[in-house]
Structure 1
Amino acid sequence: MRGSTTKGAPPPVSAPGCGWYWMAGALAALGTYGGTAWTVRSWAGCPLGNDASSNIGLNALMLLIWVCMTLLLSLLPFALRRRPFRGGRAVMWLAPLAAAIALTVLYRVGMEWPYDPPGGPCTDGYPLFPFTGKTGP
């Protein structure tokens, strides 16, 4: 007898180890940094935008985004233990990467893009005056 499995039974699915949890924090850090850099680059030409105060708000937000991404990516191994993907270990290691990319894109989309009217100053896309729907007077 070479193995402990019986004949005809599928091999046991190997559970992810501690590397998955370390990888969650690292992928969240890369996603947070990448999403923030992408946001800063998109708003660089807009003096009234998200980076108007030398990126202080974005830099402070990075810690919160990293914690949220890390928690979400850390929950992924638990979900995959209950319902593993077909394709073996390679797919189980690529799933956190795909989730980190999706969370980074979600973060960037949530930060909006500047509104740049022709002949006018660039403004944030959010209404400056509540309940009017306008970005200025």
Structure 2
Amino acid sequence: MVTDVNSLEEYARITFPVRAPIINIDIYKQTHYFKINGNNCNHMQFPSQNCFTLTVHKTQGLTLPRVCLALDGNIFSPGQAYVALSRCSSWDNIETSHLDRSAFMVDQDVILEYQRLTDISNTNPHLFS
């Protein structure tokens, strides 16, 4: 992230270097006026909020209070979407900015193993009673 404050200091341009076009956001200065002990005062700021990004792999084993996910073509490994979705303890605290069916991949070895176990169960139902 790169910050550039213009010469009049009326706004700050925040630049986010992402994969496809670079995103520039202008954050405009806000001034709040108030009095303290009868004296006129003001407070100027460029309002922004800190946030953090973690990879799915870095969050394994964590429980996060709030999660915003991009489940898109950048998901490259079977099970990643599940791990990402399971980091939050409540569905109400999960937000998705992108949702692409291709993000949900299943390991073919897992599918074969489930089929093998299903076949054993159907062939020998007495073993699973």
After TM superposition, is the score higher than 0.5?
A: no
Relative to total residues, which structure has the larger strand share, 1 or 2?
2
Q: Give the structure with higher Rg (CA).
A: 2
Higher relative contact order (CA 8 A, sep 6+): 1
Q: TM-score, normalised by structure 2?
A: 0.32
